[in-house]
Amino acid sequence: MKKGYYGEFGGQFVPELLMPPLLELEEAMKTIMKSAEFCDEYTRLLTDFIGRPTAMTHCRNLSRELGFNLWLKREDLAHTGAHKINNTVGQALLTQMMGKTTLLAETGAGQHGVATACAASLLDLDCEIYMGAVDVERQSHNVKRMELFGAKVVPVESGTKTLKDAINAAMRKWIADQETTHYCFGTAAGAHPFPLLVRELQSIIGREAKAQFVEKNGKLPDYVVACVGGGSNAIGMFHDFVPEESVKIIGVEAGGTGEPGCYNSAPISLGTTGVLHGMNTKLLQTEEGQILPSHSVSAGLDYPGVGPEHVYLHDSGRVEYAIINDGQAINAFKTMCRKEGILPALESSHAVAWALENKDSIPAGSNVLVNLSGRGDKDMDIFEKYTAEYGN
């Protein structure tokens, strides 16, 4: 495959002014990230700071009802409450070892912003977070957490004022400050080498999950399921399972309200091929190539593009991508709380919902392993607003 590509997807579609820092990052991945110094320190931080390995939980009550075994990989138990921290601590360490002083990031739901701010604080780096003004409002709790960690949060007022606009603003800032600053990209998307870098740092999820599952059950799971926005928790979960042909892998995109003609966040299932944020991928766009607003009840999935490796995995037939709408996700959110005592992020609720919605087609006795990418405390305001509008 061509460097930086997954089939025909990926690439480096950025202004020339961003090529030098991208090439510098590629080089740092080949040298610094392979060094014993980096590997030892990153491994130490994964254990001592992030709290890995995260648990794997068998959902006993739901499994009885569903007729198959539902397992959760508990990234919600990682420090700061989501898988995002695996990536940001890795990139922050890389930044420090590259001799740069500032972490720049964009965030949608705020989880990546919190994780970046936290990693910056740990490694004594300056931190600047770009966040769409709409997301600043709907994730105010996370904004406060970022600020507590010492980050400067910059609301982005342009465009749709959501994640895609925050990415645009962060890329602009990176052009200007590239000498001192590393752009800590939040998902396995964007220009090469970001999809590769983020996958490398997140693949700890799947490696651990596979080992834990085999240790508990003496075999591999039948299904591995994860939600897909940009796609970092999913690619991290899937990577080690992709070569295992017996495992069915399911990525779950957000269908928005599910009404005909509504905005959604399902570019693999409902989008077309195009170029945005440095990559050739599937996008929600008009026939003329203008990017459409996306929608999901989960701010973390609300993105009109997706990481290029997911599109490749879809087109090659290895991974099946399904759609879950807002209502189904909210139902899974409540079900998980009431039946298992676990408050999942609305992002992860989409993945849980896939298992609930497909209970009739999943063979009895199967083992379904869902990546619970984060915890849902951050989503309580959205949940309350949703139930006020649509009923409980």
Partner 1 sequence: MKVSRLTEKIKESNAKGRTALVPFLPGGYPDLDKFWDEIIELDKNGADVIEIGMPFSDPVADGPVVEAASLKSLENGVNLKWIISGLKGCRDKIDAGVLLMGYLNPVLQYGIEQFAKDAQEAGVDGLIIADMPYEEGVEIKKILAEHDISLVPLVGLNTSRERMKLYAKDATGFVYFVSVLGTTGDRDTLPEDVKKGLEMAQELFDIPVALGFGLKRPEQLVALDGLVDAAVFGSALIRHVEAGKSCREFMEIWK
Site size with partner 1, rule: CB under 8 A:
31
Tokens representing 241?
A: 């399972």
Catalytic position from the list 83, 192, 277, 350: 83
Asked about 59 being catalytic, the answer comes back as yes
In whole angstroms, how close is the CB of 82 to partner 1 at the nearest point?
26
Binding piece for partner 1, criterion CB under 8 A, among 175-183, 239-247, 261-269, 322-330: 175-183
Q: Does 16 bind partner 1 (CB under 8 A)?
A: yes
Q: Does 276 bind partner 1 (CB under 8 A)?
A: yes
Strands 367-372 and 69-74: parallel
Closest to partner 1 by CB, 18 or 62: 18
Q: Does 308 bind partner 1 (CB under 8 A)?
A: no
Q: Does 278 bind partner 1 (CB under 8 A)?
A: yes
Class of residue 7 by CB neighbours under 10 A (exposed 0-12, middle 13-18, buried 19+): middle
Closest to partner 1 by CB, 47 or 272: 272
In whole angstroms, how close is the CB of 206 to partner 1 at the nearest point?
30
Asked about 350 being catalytic, the answer comes back as no
Q: Does 291 bind partner 1 (CB under 8 A)?
A: yes
Nearest Cα residue to 153 out of 116, 100, 198: 116
Q: Does 288 bind partner 1 (CB under 8 A)?
A: yes
206 neighbors 250 (Cβ within 8 angstroms): no
| CA–CA gap between residue 110 and residue 366 (Å, rounded) | 35
In whole angstroms, how close is the CB of 111 to partner 1 at the nearest point?
23
Tokens 């460097």 sit at which residue?
3
Residues between 46 and 75 with contacts to partner 1, criterion CB under 8 A: none
Catalytic position from the list 39, 58, 59, 184: 59
Among 277, 282, 350, 378, binds partner 1 (CB under 8 A): 277
Cis peptide before 15 (omega within 30 of 0): no
Q: Does 15 bind partner 1 (CB under 8 A)?
A: yes
In whole angstroms, how close is the CB of 270 to partner 1 at the nearest point?
16
Task: Measure Cα distances from 180 to 21, 101, 176, 198 in Å.
Answer: 10, 6, 10, 21
Q: Does 372 bind partner 1 (CB under 8 A)?
A: no
φ, ψ (nearest 5 deg) of residue 281: -155, -165
**Runs of H (alpha helix) within the chain:** 19-30, 36-45, 60-66, 84-97, 111-122, 133-138, 140-148, 163-177, 194-202, 204-217, 232-238, 267-270, 308-315, 326-340, 346-357, 380-390
Closest to partner 1 by CB, 231 or 278: 278
Closest to partner 1 by CB, 288 or 360: 288
Residue 212 neighbours by CB distance under 10 Å: 17
Among 142, 178, 265, 373, binds partner 1 (CB under 8 A): 178
In whole angstroms, how close is the CB of 201 to partner 1 at the nearest point?
24
Rg of the chain over CA atoms, in angstroms? 19
Q: Does 14 bind partner 1 (CB under 8 A)?
A: yes
DSSP characters over 202-259: HTHHHHHHHHHHHHHHSS--SEEEEE-SS-HHHHHHHTTTTT-TTSEEEEEEE-TT--
Indicate which residues carry an active-site annotation. Answer: 59, 83
Residues that bind partner 1 (CB under 8 A): 11-17, 19-20, 158-159, 164-165, 168, 171-172, 175-176, 178, 274-278, 283, 285, 287-291
